[in-house]
Structure 1
């Protein structure tokens, strides 16, 4: 890989890390909102929705943590000019296209969850 391509990839990865960090903050905020909603919503349907969102937030936070870690690993690998790293068989960090696809999926799932939660919390 050329140095300019490495620099470009590293800049993109750093941008993704910033986006993942912002998403993590947003998830924390939504979780806090959900806690407030759980105080006032006590009917069975609302409680089921609250549990659904709790589970979804946990899953999304876990994916954010994994992706953040893998983006850091990928950035380190590029910065260290390909020195060997411990790679996860199920989460490759050395393939930019795979990371790009994972980031796209992460973004899509987060946006869907955020929109679904906004609709739920609007009826409060």
Structure 2
């Protein structure tokens, strides 16, 4: 049976990729929120305003998720740095398991966010 074993350098590299992706998502959210502001000033229709509020709430939630994911990455990086300082590049099985679980969490969030963006772009096409 093959076990998931990751070296600290590999985990660090993946963390850096994820941090870049999360920073990009944060920038996208700024753009999406500016579009919401534009639309709020244009529409008085209650149905449209309700949809705008829905997207605003979704973007707030997603912003919170981004923050949580960034904090988790930072905690992992601190543990990796601690091992590196002590000269122990030994594999931390617990950290490896956490990393694999976190990778799954990122992939799930990537899918959720992608679907939200598709929905929002369809909404923009209709109401911009």
Whether these two folds match at TM > 0.5 is yes
Offset at residue 82 of structure 1 (A): 7.8
Matched, 1:98 2:101: yes
1:121 corresponds, among 115, 118, 124, to 124
TM-score scaled by length of structure 2: 0.81
Name the one with the larger helix percent.
Answer: 2
User: What are structure 1's unaligned runs of at least 5 residues?
Assistant: 84-92
1:76 corresponds, among 75, 78, 94, to 78
2:111 corresponds, among 97, 108, 111, to 108
- Cα distance, 1:14–1:25 mapped onto 2, change above 3 Å: same
Larger Rg: 2
Number of residue-to-residue matches in the alignment: 112
2:60 corresponding residue in structure 1:
58
Higher relative contact order at CA 8 Å, sep ≥6: structure 1 or structure 2?
A: 2
SS at match of 1:42: coil
User: What are structure 2's unaligned runs of at least 5 residues?
Assistant: 1-5, 86-93
Moved over 3 A (4+): none
RMSD: 1.8
